[in-house]
Structure 1
Amino acid sequence: MTLAGYLSREPSTTEELNKLLGLNSLSKTRHGSQESNDFRNAILVVAVLIVTATYQAGLSPPGGYWQDDYAPDSDNGHTAGQMTMSFNLALFFYICNGIAFFSSLYVIMVLIIGLPMWMVLYGSIGALGMANYASFSNTFPTSNGSFQDIAVSLVPFVYPVITGFLLSPPFFAFISHRRRQQQVDFPARLQLSSEAIVL
């Protein structure tokens, strides 16, 4: 493909994300590029702070944990190490906390793609998502109803799917973007790298 053909094509997903986040520096001056870098860094800091806060909230949920075992004849017992919240409140808390956690992880993944060792960072982000799941899988309150049993049985399947769903789109968008760039019939020394586009 010629350079003219490449430039006349629709922007790739990566280019669209860069444009949406204000990170496209193709036609900007040095001052404009520095400004977009500042925006990128600010977004990254906020996303990291949200991930940190939501992960910590998962480790230390509101109300804390039971310190003893209690097994009455009725269905409202608990085990040491379980959350003191009721099942429904804990489910609501983890849904809201999970939305904040995973959306911030997604922003981080979009911003780090193309950086040196970004694939290693992707692996660690996936491991962080699974560690978040593991941190509450044993501490979730005991369910007392059929709806609650269904919710508990779905969580081990839904959580890895969400983690994989968040990891794969930016990864495949980057691979597709890289392939599009490599199809251009243009000298390699003048071809724009993805790092130049992101910065």
Structure 2
Amino acid sequence: MEMAILKPSFARKLNPEGYSPMHLALQHEHYSTVRALMTLDPKLIRVRGRYGITPLHYVAGKEGDMEVELLAEFLATCNSSINDLTSRCETVVHVAVKTHNLQAFKVLLGWLTRVYRTNILGWKDQDGNTVLHIAASEEQLEIFKLLMGCTDVNAKNFQDKTALEIFQDPSGDQDLAKRLCLLERRARRFTPTLSLSQFFSTKPTVYEKYKMFLGIRNESARNIILIVSTLIATASYQAALTPPGGYWQDNSTNTPANCTVVSANTSGIAIGKPHHVGNMTMKGLQLYTFTILNSMVFWASMCTIWATAITLLPDSALVYLSIGSFGIAFVVTVGVEFPKSQPAGGDLVVIFYHLLMLTAVCLPLYVWAMYKRVVNRIDAIGRHPGNLLGTKHRK
């Protein structure tokens, strides 16, 4: 450890047999040294040794309480280590399943679920097998049951076989048999899969074109746009709450017949056309001009935020829906505050903005959903976790 502190590069060196100091410490069960090295440099967990095996792969293939605990510590300390493959293109999940290490597999599955990386379960080794194919071929019933709910049972290996075609239930489990029959019926209704080359050979989808046009790769620029758009949306929303001239403070229902002169009552409050307390004081052209211009500014800022959020779906789904709720609140506010003396105009404004709201929310979601239907048909090696258009976690 003292040598590793003085010369950190030594901790990455491989001996003639192809093992790093952490590999050797694991082989000789010097777990305190393993934890010390991990504390010194978490990326030592990703050092590839012989056959491309990292310390993470090693502990995933070993049974025992201490090894399972180290596996969990490795994942928590260096989560990017889950992307590493052996020389046979095996993930750490492949290693756990091939060595029949059920305890390690449960740790991996639980961690992948919590960090939203279950797509790794669909990655294929050099033979085109996912972990589900391996569990099926080796008749690991419990692992097969766990995987059925979180991976594609219709993915084919390089022998053009699905896991359902490989699997033979040795236990006679009737419940599992029913579930398999249901999956097989669904598989027959699925659209034929695409290879990755076939997907790239097709023209970009509407969503891809949209993202290439509006996708802002510069994170600083995207943050500035979001901040400014949020400030504009807030200011225009506040203007709708406090319009120029404010609101009527009293109710008025009696207007002198055939008289355009504004009179005053004993309290000094002007009495003109009928109005209700809480309505805007503006009327006529001024009212419509202010409402239209303020609403245009509000919707322009909202659409800017939406345009940025859509390119980051599904990670930005909560922001997308929150902005939608904010827009609905704006529509309701305009409808409530519009003078009741002009009901036709108020109804038209509310109807128009409701239609605009539905279009702005539903149309991009529909386009994104169509894109996901196409992407979910891709049956390749599987190492494209939502990154076909350059998002993070690319392998």
**Do they superpose with TM above 0.5?**
yes
Which of 113, 122, 125 aligns to 2:323? It is 125
- What runs of 5+ residues in structure 1 fail to find an aligned partner? 24-32
Query: What is aligned with 1:30?
Result: none
CA 1:91 to 1:112, structure 2 compared with 1: closer, same or farther past 3 Å?
Answer: same
Query: What is aligned with 1:28?
Result: none
Query: What is aligned with 1:166?
Result: 360
* Pairwise CA RMSD: 2.7
Equivalent-residue separation in structure 2 for 1:15 and 1:136 (angstroms) = 35
Matched, 1:3 2:196: yes
CA 1:190 to 1:125, structure 2 compared with 1: closer, same or farther past 3 Å?
Answer: closer
Name the stretch that deviates more: 130-139 or 109-118: 109-118
2:249 and 2:278 in contact (8 A); partners too: yes
Query: What is aligned with 1:43?
Result: 225
Which of 293, 296, 314 aligns to 1:96? It is 293
CA 1:198 to 1:84, structure 2 compared with 1: closer, same or farther past 3 Å?
Answer: farther
Name the stretch that deviates more: 84-93 or 116-125: 116-125
2:335 and 2:346 in contact (8 A); partners too: no
1:22 and 1:39 in contact (8 A); partners too: no
Equivalent-residue separation in structure 2 for 1:158 and 1:63 (angstroms) = 25
Structure with greater helix share of residues: 1
CA 1:53 to 1:170, structure 2 compared with 1: closer, same or farther past 3 Å?
Answer: same
Q: Report deviation, 1:57.
A: 0.9
Equivalent-residue separation in structure 1 for 2:211 and 2:392 (angstroms) = 7
- What runs of 5+ residues in structure 2 fail to find an aligned partner? 1-193, 257-271
Aligned positions, number: 184
* Letter paired with 1:15: E
Give me the TM-score of the superposition, normalised by structure 2: 0.42
CA 1:192 to 1:116, structure 2 compared with 1: closer, same or farther past 3 Å?
Answer: closer
Which of 81, 87, 111 aligns to 2:284? It is 87
Q: SS at the partner of 1:123?
A: helix
Matched, 1:152 2:346: yes
Q: SS at the partner of 2:373?
A: helix
Q: Report deviation, 1:163.
A: 0.9
Query: What is aligned with 2:93?
Result: none
1:87 and 1:142 in contact (8 A); partners too: no
CA 1:194 to 1:130, structure 2 compared with 1: closer, same or farther past 3 Å?
Answer: farther
* Letter paired with 1:127: S
* Letter paired with 1:168: C
Query: What is aligned with 2:45?
Result: none
Name the stretch that deviates more: 59-68 or 14-23: 14-23
Equivalent-residue separation in structure 1 for 2:299 and 2:308 (angstroms) = 14
Q: Report deviation, 1:165.
A: 0.7
2:208 and 2:389 in contact (8 A); partners too: no
Which of 333, 337, 357 aligns to 1:139? It is 337
Query: What is aligned with 2:57?
Result: none
Equivalent-residue separation in structure 2 for 1:85 and 1:181 (angstroms) = 52
Q: Which has the higher contact order (CA 8 A, sep 6+)?
A: 1
Q: SS at the partner of 1:80?
A: coil
* Letter paired with 1:87: G
Q: Report deviation, 1:187.
A: 1.9
CA 1:92 to 1:80, structure 2 compared with 1: closer, same or farther past 3 Å?
Answer: same
Query: What is aligned with 1:60?
Result: 242
Q: SS at the partner of 1:138?
A: helix
Provide the identity percentage.
Answer: 32
